[in-house]
Amino acid sequence: MDSFSTVIRTASQEQHTEAETSTFMSDLLGGKLGVDAYARYTEQLWFVYEALETGAGGLAADPVAGPFVRPELFRLAALERDLAHLRGPRWRAGLTALPATRAYADRVRSCVEGWPGGYLAHHYTRYLGDLSGGQIIRDRAERTWGFARKGDGVRFYVFEGIANPAAFKREYRALLDGVPADDLEKQRIVAECKKAFALNTAMFQALGEEFPLSA
């Protein structure tokens, strides 16, 4: 039988490709959009990570989610520095969530509050992605909009507390493989992971509508 980390990865592979090749992501990474689109995307991430990280401390003792609550992953402070750079010191005043972002953050919040397995699904979808493809996005953003390497504007993608991301990801997969959940709960977690990908894709779709190339 496949390990849980393999199951969850395989189950979300198709949707990963969909997210990766979404019009908004392709345009953003293809250098076709202005820094305003990147800033708007970063604002949306703020709502997602605010939901993921506020109250996550309350899951620290949970047998399923607890081992994944790692402060070195937390991104909210980095996002806030990026937004101050991108939008200026009054960045908070102009911060708004797209409806798709609101739906995503609401779903994450309800998992944080009531379902540790669901939180794990959202945790995996975002943080393992940020540690992987996020590095490609950072590199592209630095080149396209001239941010300092690993500096303000792209701090979200820089995990200061993780010296060896490959080793961290190996450890993360081992934690997934040992998660103390029965088969039914694991199936539910995989289903939530697929939902997490769908929520990301919906957010990209909404961003794509806000930043059509022809505009």
**Residue 141 sits in the site that holds ligand HEM (CB under 6 A):** no
3-state class of 193 per DSSP?
helix
**Residue 167 sits in the site that holds ligand HEM (CB under 6 A):** no
Instruction: Give the nearest distance from C-beta 8 to ligand HEM in angstroms.
Output: 6
Site string for ligand HEM, 10-29 (x = CB under 6 A): ------x--xx----x---x
**Residue 108 sits in the site that holds ligand HEM (CB under 6 A):** no
Backbone angles phi, psi at 150, to 5 degrees: 55, 25
| Amino acid at the residue 27 | D
**Nearest Cα to 135, choosing from 109, 108, 165, 110?**
165
Question: Is residue 64 within 8 Å of 120, Cβ to Cβ?
Answer: yes
Instruction: Give the nearest distance from C-beta 192 to ligand HEM in angstroms.
Output: 13
Q: Record the tokens describing residue 188, joined without a space.
A: 């539910």
3-state class of 34 per DSSP?
coil
**Residue 3 sits in the site that holds ligand HEM (CB under 6 A):** no
Binding site for ligand HEM (CB under 6 A): 9, 16, 19-20, 25, 29, 124-126, 128-129, 132-133, 136-137, 169, 197, 200
